[in-house]
Amino acid sequence: MDYHSGTLVVRGGSVNSPKEVIHIYADGGRNIVSGPDRGEGRLHQFYGKRISGFSITREEEKDLINFLCVLTDSTVLGNHHFANSWRMQL
């Protein structure tokens, strides 16, 4: 998760903040209301049946966001060698 770049990419699209990502997982999935990928993700045939959501307090959410930010390595994010994961750059 790259919190500092302003866009977090998740499977099937992108969201604007780590808080939004946490809420999607806490809700057990998301409902996309418009666009080509619209639909209730929890109803998709390939959706993991063990994913059911969870409860999280505001304090736990804040702690989780801070933890995820610690995992963001800005030296890797700015390194052109890691810019394209589909081809090796030397």
Number of domains in the chain: 1
Specify if 78 maps to a domain: yes
> pTM for this structure?
0.59
Specify if 89 maps to a domain: no
Specify if 2 maps to a domain: no
- Between strands 31-32 and 13-15, the pairing is unpaired
- Domain holding 72, by residue range, is 8-82
Specify if 88 maps to a domain: no
pLDDT tens sequence across 4-45: 444 455 555 567 788 888 988 898 888 778 888 778 877 777
pLDDT tens sequence across 56-76: 999 999 999 888 877 777 777
- DSSP character for 31? E
Specify if 40 maps to a domain: yes
CA distance 17 to 4: 10
Specify if 1 maps to a domain: no
CA 24 to chain centre: 9
